[in-house]
Amino acid sequence: MTNSPNPSTPGNRLKLGVFAINGGAAFTNHPDRFVPSWENNVRIAQYAEQLGIEKLVSASRWKPFGGDGHYSGDLYETFTWAAAVSAVTERIEVLSTVHLSIVNPVIAAQAASTIDLISKGRFGMNLVCGWYRAEMEMFGNAMGGHGDRYALAEEWVEIFERLWTETSSFDYDGEYHQLRGAIAQPRAPYPRPTLLNAGGSERGREFAAKNCDVAFIVPQDPRPEAIRQQVEDYRRLARENYGKDIEVWMSSYVVQRDSQAEADAYVQDYVVTQGDPEGVDSFMANNIGNAETWPKEVLEHVRFGIAAGYGGYPLVGTAESIADTMTALSEAGVDGFLMTWLDYENGLAAFGDAVLPRLEAAALRSAIV
């Protein structure tokens, strides 16, 4: 059960979202690195809504990479951020990234209900099962094994669903959660918030297929035909094992310039020449070793993508080539793109001016009404 589509963009074949404006996505010391002031967040959120973009999704970080004071820790807390963004927007769906190993489901349910009341049913959550040991230890929680984290997540979602739908207090005795008299108020008169997940392991895909409305794939082979197989496998898993349909999205970093050479040079500049290798090394040391997603031979490619924009798929080139790539991936079955930019404000403006009209011309998106 999901929220209704964004009313400004009914039935878009290719959906779009903006990720991580509450802190930024690139690991770099480049002067164009995004400054996540509240004023910048408001402008970008409202402009994304004007463009008909369907989702705003926060990133979540409790402890920085690269040491105390590193900019990677300067992210607005995601429930607080979502409530504030909901109050200054009218149509766009606003999603909090939630670390299930840290945030108690009772707290999450009350926060979600509150934000849903503020947003009139536009709230959702991006569920993260946990992989950053230092964050968990900061809260006094031990980091379990890969399977344990997903077992905890299964309990978490079950509890959240019950808190959302049941009107009487209940007890819950699980392996990871023991609750007495659990209930969540105030109550929101809306469907359960949209749930996203980006698990890439076999266990992660099972969790997303069973519990979530949107799953993200991380392509290990960038060719559309290989991505088509990943998408079809995900849909089949959800349909055959759980009797449901699921949207399949990709995360992407966008660099749009007048020529391919200019776009490539800009990425090289902010990722390598003015990059932040210490921050990337810290991210990889805490994430890649635990994710069970990528083979070793592709780690350097992944490292570049992390620096460029949280490991997203590259949409790098001219407006025409970016639109062509998105069209090819849509034809391969991808339902949506969650996008980042180094400079969100100028990047989103250029995307709206030159890429969106091409996607509309390709009948992937409707013009704003």
Picking from 351, 15, 352, the residue whose alpha carbon sits closest to that of residue 194 is: 15
Nearest 5°: the CA angle 286, 223, 269 is 55
Residue with tokens 């780690």, as numbered in its chain: 299
Picking from 353, 296, 286, the residue whose alpha carbon sits closest to that of residue 319 is: 353
* pLDDT score, position 6: 44
* pLDDT score, position 324: 98
* pLDDT score, position 299: 74
274-316: pLDDT as tens digits: 999 999 988 888 766 544 555 666 677 788 999 999 889 999 9
Structure tokens belonging to residue 159: 């509890």
**Residues in CB range of 52: below 8 A, 6 or more apart:** 6, 8, 9, 12, 356, 365, 366, 368
Nearest 5°: the CA angle 282, 127, 185 is 130
User: How does 233-242 read in b/e, with b if 16+ C-beta sit within 10 Å?
Assistant: ebbebbeeee
* pLDDT score, position 5: 41
Structure tokens belonging to residue 299: 């780690």
For 210, other C-beta atoms within 10 Å of its C-beta total: 16
The angle that helices 105-119 and 78-87 make with each other, rounded to 10 degrees, is: 10
Give CA–CA dist 268/246, Å, rounded: 35
Residues in the chain, total: 369
Question: How many angstroms from the chain centroid is the CA of residue 190?
Answer: 22
**Whether residue 186 has a cis bond before it, omega within 30° of 0:** yes
* pLDDT score, position 298: 66
SS3 167: coil
Give CA–CA dist 107/56, Å, rounded: 22
pTM of this structure: 0.93
Domains of the chain: 15-361 (3.20.20.30)
Question: How many angstroms from the chain centroid is the CA of residue 68?
Answer: 25
Number of helices followed by number of strands (H, E) in the chain: 13, 11
Cβ 62 vs Cβ 44: under 8 Å: no
215-259: pLDDT as tens digits: 999 887 889 999 999 999 999 999 999 999 999 999 999 999 999
Nearest 5°: the CA angle 269, 48, 56 is 85
Residues of the chain with pLDDT under 50: 1-9, 290-291
